[in-house]
């Protein structure tokens, strides 16, 4: 027997080693590309696309007239006294009421018991007294021109603020309507004259020139 033991076969081991080295070498030469992860994008569209926020100026509002005739209270028992309005608005309110004229509704007037009889307002009184007004809400009579030119300190509020309702005292000698009219220098006649000038502006011009002519005549005397 030989003293030398046979060496183990290493060819297979060496071949395997070289194979492994070649693989590692080749893998080291490959440039690794960075991994790109696609973002999680929600592709669902909204049900309705909102409109762009555009500031649109609203159309200019039409200013209302300072004194709207249709807004004025017609019922003399409910309307506001002209002297309660601001001073700078009274002329406009007065002219607006002049355009409307006295409130003279045509209706079936209610009866009220006065003494032993049932009495009521008569529509024919408007014809005899064109200045007369009637309040449906209060069943009372009023004077239109005296309302137009009434003042806070006036002592004749019976036909402007309080109203008149004693129908018994309209007929006969004790006629309260005629007493209200009074004489030529009464407050009622003064109010009637002013009302007539507002209804007929040309008369106011004629009155001005007549007074001016009279003054010229007096100055030349």
> Which of 208-221 are b and which e, b meaning 16 or more Cβ less than 10 Å from the residue's Cβ?
eeeeeeeeeeeeee
Q: Could you tell me the pLDDT band of residue 44, with boundaries at 50, 70 and 90? A: low
For 132, the enclosing helix (H) or strand (E) is: strand 132-135
Contact 147, 160 (CB under 8 A): yes
Q: Which residue has the higher pLDDT, 115 or 12?
A: 115
> Which tens digits make up the pLDDT trace of 175-211?
999 999 999 999 999 999 999 999 997 765 555 555 5
Q: And the tokens for 25?
A: 């070498």
Per-residue pLDDT at 212 exceeds 60: no
**pLDDT (mean) for 90-104:** 96
Q: What is the pTM of this model?
A: 0.62
At 163, is the secondary structure helix, strand, or coil?
Answer: coil
Q: Tens digits of per-residue pLDDT, 62-89? A: 334 444 777 899 999 999 999 999 999 9
- For residues 119 and 111, what is the distance between their CA atoms, to the nearest angstrom? 5
Residue 15: band (very low, low, confident or very high) from pLDDT cuts 50, 70, 90 = low
* Environment class of 144 (CB within 10 Å of its CB; exposed 0-12, middle 13-18, buried 19+): buried
pLDDT at position 59 is 46
Alpha-carbon distances of 34 from 28, 31, 37, 40, 165, rounded to whole Å: 15, 9, 9, 18, 106
Determine the Cα–Cα distance for residues 147 and 107; give it in Å rounded to an integer. 23
The residue-averaged pLDDT of 165-174 equals: 89
For residue 197, the SS3 value is helix
């Amino acid at each position: 027997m030989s003293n030398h033991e046979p060496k183990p076969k290493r060819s297979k081991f060496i071949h395997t080693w070289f194979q492994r080295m070649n693989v590692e070498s080749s893998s080291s030469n490959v440039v690794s590309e960075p991994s790109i992860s696609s973002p999680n994008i929600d592709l669902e569209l909204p049900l309705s696309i909102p409109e762009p926020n555009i500031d649109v100026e609203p159309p200019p509002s039409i200013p209302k007239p300072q004194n709207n005739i249709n807004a004025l209270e017609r019922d003399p028992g409910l309307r506001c006294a002209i002297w309660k309005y601001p001073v700078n608005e009274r002329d406009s309110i007065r002219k607006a009421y002049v355009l409307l004229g006295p409130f003279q509704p045509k209706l079936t007037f209610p009866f009220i018991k006065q003494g032993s009889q049932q009495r009521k307002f008569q529509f024919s009184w408007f014809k005899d007294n064109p200045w007369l007004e009637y309040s449906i809400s209060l069943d009372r009579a009023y004077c239109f021109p005296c309302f137009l030119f009434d003042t806070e300190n006036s002592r004749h509020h019976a036909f402007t603020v309080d109203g008149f309702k004693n129908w018994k005292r309209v007929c006969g000698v004790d006629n309260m309507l005629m007493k209200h009219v009074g004489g030529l220098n009464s407050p009622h006649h003064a109010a009637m004259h002013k009302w007539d000038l507002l209804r007929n502006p040309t008369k106011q011009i004629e009155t001005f020139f007549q007074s001016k002519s009279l003054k010229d005549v007096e100055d030349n005397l």
